[in-house]
Amino acid sequence: MRAAATAATVTTVTTSVTVTVVSALTLALAGCSSEAPPADDSGYVWQLPAGFPRPVVPAHNPMSSAKVELGRHLFYDLRLSGNGQQACASCHEQARAFSDGRPRGVGSTGVMHARNPQGLGNVAYLSTLTWIGPGLGELERQLEAPMRGEAPIELGMGGHEDEILARLAAEPRYADLFAAAFPGQAPTFDSIKAALASFVRALISGNSAFDRHARGERGAMSPAALRGADLFFSRRLGCTGCHGGFQFTTATRYVGSTDTPLESPFHNIGLYNLDGAGAYPADAPGLRAITGQARDEGRFRVPSLRNVELTAPYMHDGSVATLEDVIRIYEDGGRLITDGPSAGDGRESPLRSRLLTTFQLSDGERADLIAFLRSLTDEGFVTDPRFANPW
């Protein structure tokens, strides 16, 4: 969490925690309209938090309320998997900010995945999706993997397309839902994918205690959380080098933003060092699995910290149980594993990000930093009936 200063982050330590938090949000939203446009080109009315920019939407799949509602029904429907045993919501629970609480994902056929299911809040603002997806910035493309991918199998729709369409046709609700979302068109897998993408794109979260405090609501953040904010935005810790901007990740884009992130959104944080040369476990080598480049070993995309309290366990493989454990790893500049098949000293990895250095916190400071991270929880988001199971 250590970094050089960037234009979108706060690196000046102030004497007032209120000034720190308000300045942080102001700079995070630099370049965004203070009043988000109420509707996009398709006429869809976004319900965005004050000051949030409008998400990027592909021209081939404009937003509509009807698509979002159809997508919500599909998202929670077990009939969408090949064997009828799993829905998108099985790995993305609303109460957990649309993560699932498991260290690693488990597909509809029981196959365990190599990576941890991420939360879906504000996924519409990500410039690159998934833990290791450079250039994969469109939900419609990304959905191909959970829908029909075979390595690993998730929903396992491949080869069951006709059967799944027949199941949906037998459900009376879908006749009206598909007709409203795609007038004059018969249901297809392309329309299913478009509706799911629209629903997930609508999952906007931005009303945490941090947000409310930054917008002037006195008392929204506790004194401990305010002290933690000072630490988080300080040069001493430098957290915002990777977790900067209103999304608390450098992997962010929106209407009017540039396509080039301030820093690469993929980093090796020294979780593993199996061979003294920086090796990660073979089933999750990071970005190297995509690029084939040795220098990309152990590099994963920086996740957003919004709702991070609800998305444990942490890291790409769910190998870190608590926020305190995460912070201690950053304090040490990596993780030491003393025994077992993953033994090694990640602190000594030659592939660690140059942004990663060490710092020391007292027990009180660590508790304050955790209180700040918890202030990023948006309770309204995880109970919003617009995003809940309609069945």
Which DSSP string corresponds to 64-93?
Answer: -HHHHHHHHHHHT-GGGSTTS---GGGTSB
> Beta-strand (E) ranges in the chain?
266-267, 300-301, 336-337, 344-345
Domain final residue, candidates 204, 234, 261: 204
Residue 347 in any domain: the answer is yes
Residues 95 and 125 in one domain: yes
Q: How confident is the model at residue 263 (pLDDT cuts 50, 70, 90)?
A: low
Task: Give the residues across from 364 on adjacent strands.
Answer: none
Burial (0-12, 13-18, 19+ Cβ within 10 Å), 189: middle
Residue 69 in any domain: the answer is yes
Running DSSP on this structure, what letter comes out for residue 165? H
| pLDDT, tens only, 177-234 | 999 999 999 999 999 999 999 999 999 999 999 999 999 999 999 999 999 999 999 9
- The whole-number average pLDDT for the span 16-20 is 52
Running DSSP on this structure, what letter comes out for residue 48? P
> Is the pLDDT assigned to residue 16 strictly greater than 90?
no
- The whole-number average pLDDT for the span 146-173 is 94
Any residues with CB less than 8 A from the CB of 385 and at least 6 apart, and which? none
Residues 366 and 276 in one domain: yes
Token pair listed for 335: 């993780």
Token pair listed for 244: 């900067």
Cβ atoms of 274 and 282 closer than 8 Å: no
What pLDDT is stored for residue 26 in this prediction?
54
CA distance 160 to 202: 28
Q: How confident is the model at residue 15 (pLDDT cuts 50, 70, 90)?
A: very low
What pLDDT is stored for residue 21 in this prediction?
59
Residue 42 in any domain: the answer is no
Q: Is the pTM of this model over 0.85?
A: yes
Residue 60 is which amino acid?
H
Token pair listed for 192: 């299913």
What pLDDT is stored for residue 31 in this prediction?
43
- Containing 332, the helix (H) or strand (E) segment is helix 323-332
Is residue 254 classed as helix, strand or coil in its secondary structure? coil
What pLDDT is stored for residue 257 in this prediction?
87
Q: How confident is the model at residue 18 (pLDDT cuts 50, 70, 90)?
A: low
Token pair listed for 70: 């159809």
Residue 60 in any domain: the answer is no
How many domains, the chain? 2
135-144, 165-174, 248-257 — most confident range: 165-174
| pLDDT, tens only, 87-123 | 999 999 999 999 999 999 999 999 888 899 999 999 9
The average confidence (pLDDT) of the chain is 90
Angle at 243 between CA 219 and CA 359, to 5 degrees: 90
| pLDDT, tens only, 68-90 | 999 999 999 999 999 999 999 99
CA distance 355 to 323: 20
The boundaries of the domain holding residue 264 are: 17-33+219-374
Task: Give the residues across from 102 on adjacent strands.
Answer: none
What pLDDT is stored for residue 37 in this prediction?
58
Residues 200 and 223 in one domain: no
| pLDDT, tens only, 294-352 | 999 999 999 999 999 999 999 999 999 999 999 999 999 999 999 999 999 999 999 99
Residues 185 and 73 in one domain: yes
Residues 180 and 226 in one domain: no
Parallel, antiparallel or unpaired: strands 336-337 and 344-345: antiparallel
Residues 195 and 271 in one domain: no
Residues 151 and 180 in one domain: yes
> Is the pLDDT assigned to residue 44 strictly greater than 90?
yes
Residue 7 in any domain: the answer is no
Residues 359 and 262 in one domain: yes
Residue 5 in any domain: the answer is no
Any residues with CB less than 8 A from the CB of 298 and at least 6 apart, and which? 268, 269, 270, 271, 272, 278, 279, 280, 285, 286, 288, 349, 351
What pLDDT is stored for residue 301 in this prediction?
96
Residues 127 and 258 in one domain: no
Residue 236 in any domain: the answer is yes
Residues 200 and 241 in one domain: no
Running DSSP on this structure, what letter comes out for residue 244? -
**CATH code of the domain covering residue 344:** 1.10.760.10
Residues 239 and 182 in one domain: no
- Of 10-24, 170-184, 269-283, 359-373, the poorest mean pLDDT is in 10-24
Residues 362 and 240 in one domain: yes
Domain final residue, candidates 170, 204, 238: 204
What pLDDT is stored for residue 52 in this prediction?
94
